[in-house]
A and B are shown apart, each in its own frame.
Chain A
């Protein structure tokens, strides 16, 4: 994918306009990467719907991760149908998406993720009524976990 200077600038202006998401501004640095940016991933998930910060979704992550290769995290959003997890400053911002079926006892999941550097881990839950709730947690990474 070829990215022109003009393309980057206009994309940046668009992001700045989308001030609802503080994540968006920080994700600009990743815009040069050939993969999707964090807000593209979010837009794909939400379909452009408004995302509000709220208590509906809980993200548990360590404050400091010594090894970015395995950072234990868990997400929980009672009443959600889907939860998406993002690491906004990773080379590929998407981390995981959980879709809960009728036999899921709780809308919660735990896993281990890679973090390239100190950054915010973001969880966005799609609630049963179609609204989106977002939360973020800053994780300090001592040793990055994406190789290279």
Chain B
């Protein structure tokens, strides 16, 4: 459905143990709300990212449920702490069943 969906995530490469790190994520997606009408007056069907999750080494950081009121190219910013070296896994769930993933390693010194 949605074309050119591309996740972009900003995570520091290194961190100290239990440091608070801010993670910024953005995914290019039209987030069609299901409210708009096209030129002929037909309602454009809803097509959004309805859920986003962030995990670190399998442990949950944040699980967000998104509604049509989230803007185009949904952006999320949140804080995580990293107890050890590992990998963040970010997952976006599309209305059409597609799942987009991105992963980032963080080294704890």
Contact surface of A with B, Cβ cutoff 8 Å: 69-71, 74, 87, 90-92, 94-106, 108-115, 145-148
Say what secondary structure dominates the interface of chain A. strand
Q: Which of B45-75 contact A (CB under 8 A)?
A: 55-56, 59-72, 74-75
Contact A104 B71 (CB under 8 A): no
Contact B36 A147 (CB under 8 A): yes
Residue of B nearest to A146 (CB): B35
Q: Name the 6 nearest CB pairs between A and B, nearest first.
A: A101-B60, A147-B36, A105-B79, A105-B20, A105-B81, A110-B77
Contact B79 A106 (CB under 8 A): yes
Is B21 interfacial (CB 8 A cutoff)?
A: yes
Bound together, the chains give a CA A7 to CA B21 distance in angstroms of: 50
Contacts known (A74-B77, A109-B77); A94 close to B21, Cβ less than 8 A? no
Contact surface of B with A, Cβ cutoff 8 Å: 20-21, 33, 35-37, 55-56, 59-72, 74-83
Residue of B nearest to A95 (CB): B69
Q: How far is the CB of A1 from chain B (nearest CB, A)?
A: 15
Q: How far is the CB of B44 from chain A (nearest CB, A)?
A: 8
Contact A114 B78 (CB under 8 A): no
**Extra pairs beyond A103-B82, A104-B61, A104-B79 (6, CB < 8 Å):** A99-B64, A102-B59, A103-B80, A104-B60, A106-B78, A113-B69
Contact A147 B20 (CB under 8 A): no
Q: How far is the CB of B70 from chain A (nearest CB, A)?
A: 6
Partner of B64, one of A98, A102, A114: A98
Bound together, the chains give a CA A111 to CA B61 distance in angstroms of: 16
Residue of A nearest to B63 (CB): A99
Contact B81 A103 (CB under 8 A): yes
Contact A87 B69 (CB under 8 A): yes
Residue of A nearest to B22 (CB): A105
Cβ of B74: which chain A residues have Cβ within 8 Å of it?
A: 111-112
Bound together, the chains give a CA A113 to CA B30 distance in angstroms of: 13
Cβ of B67: which chain A residues have Cβ within 8 Å of it?
A: 92, 94-96
Contact A111 B76 (CB under 8 A): yes
